[in-house]
A and B are shown apart, each in its own frame.
Chain A
């Protein structure tokens, strides 16, 4: 079954070109991509992820607010009893914040040098290891 990904664009930053390129690349890799537009709050992101029941939330963040946004998303997911949606992120994120985000439960961070192929491979790996399909059916999601 296709992997379903929410491409989320939190906060005030108005640059969604990268997010749209990512959405298109994931589509071409056979994924079903939910795109919700600009200026999303963590509450909006988590509501969309729950209703859409995605495998992955991919957060594109360039504004420097990642240490505020990610903890909030992780907390909201927990509050809503969701433990099988993988959260990943990309954009402008300082290297020394990456381990802190991983401790929070963020599965993968892609830096500005990552190619769309890195992203596709990363998502497939994360879903195969931690994804909802594995948890709900007892079977690993095929990598492609």
Chain B
């Protein structure tokens, strides 16, 4: 029997996400507005990332269909970019998923990336936790169209599928750092286009050389071709309690260190010592590099003194 979720829970979950997104309420208070999930099972969180226009939303639409056919409820969190100039956004990922509109086992929420630069919105991880709490079995998280370094998805997903398309570059692209390192699964979409098998072969070489066990699959998401293979790979990753846990912890720690370092360095800028560095930089007495090193020394001294 295909499970569904009461429409009332859809509304309450939607409001809870808004409250967190706009800072009306704390996460704990918001959580209390939702009924706790009944089956006690953990949700399976699948990240779908890749460049703009690669077919992420269309793949997500197909995955919704497959997970629903398996009787599981599905929440989708789809992130699209905010303008850094006006803060406005056009959120268009739902367009590809509209056929699930009448299915109460499917909840779809768009989020604008707001001030975040990591491919997700600042509160996407909270939205995922809320959807999990509300009882959705599978949570599909679609990032903004990414380049090479927007990698936050790895900190929130159990499994990350990197979607790409043929002929975005030669084999050197596959050995560059960043996006290719976070994939648990590569999907070469639009596989009916020229260059698809070349792209897949390049990725397979890269995977073999890195000693990781990452599937490289070809799909035509718009026609539903190859989706069963993607499901097999996702199901295997789900069963194997994927190695992502370790990476996610490391990524989270790195991000925390970076945020803390930036905060402390900015605090130093407001102190007399920091202001004097800025003045000397403006007066040409210091180079940018010297100024940076001096500020870092001050910031680290603050940390050591605080301990």
**A interface residues with partner B (beta carbon < 8 Å):** 1-2, 23-24, 26-37, 40, 43-44, 47-48, 50-53, 80-82, 132-133, 136-137
Contact = CB atoms under 8 A, between A and B. Distances in A.
15 contacts: A2-B88, A27-B86, A27-B90, A28-B83, A32-B112, A33-B88, A34-B94, A36-B95, A37-B98, A51-B107, A52-B94, A53-B14, A53-B18, A80-B8, A80-B11
Q: Shortest 8 CB-CB distances between A and B: which pairs?
A: A27-B88, A53-B14, A37-B95, A1-B22, A44-B101, A53-B18, A32-B112, A30-B86
Nearest to A2: B87
B282 interface: no
B17 interface: yes
A26 B83 CA distance: 12
Contacts of B88: 2, 26-33
A28 B101 contact: no
Contacts of B82: 32
Interface of B: 7-8, 10-11, 14-15, 17-19, 21-24, 82-83, 86-92, 94-95, 98, 101-102, 107-110, 112
A53 B17 contact: yes
Contacts of B15: 53, 136
A81 B101 CA distance: 18
B54 to A, nearest CB: 19
- Of the listed residues B86, B88, B98, the one surrounded by the most CB atoms of chain A closer than 10 A to its CB is B88
Contacts of A23: 90
B14 A44 contact: no
B102 A47 contact: yes
Contacts, number: 93
A48 B11 CA distance: 10
Contacts of A133: 22, 24
Given A2-B112, A51-B109, A32 B89 contact: yes
Contacts of A30: 83, 86-88
B137 to A, nearest CB: 17
B110 A52 contact: yes
A47 B91 contact: no
A35 B101 CA distance: 14
Contacts of B95: 35-37
Contacts of B11: 50, 80-82
B37 to A, nearest CB: 18
A32 B91 contact: yes
Contacts of A28: 83, 86, 88
A30 B108 CA distance: 23
Given A32-B112, A36-B98, A27 B14 contact: no
A101 to B, nearest CB: 24
Contacts of A137: 24
A133 B90 CA distance: 20
B157 to A, nearest CB: 21
A34 B80 CA distance: 10
Contacts of B108: 48, 51
Nearest to B94: A36
B12 to A, nearest CB: 10
B7 A80 contact: yes
A26 B89 CA distance: 9
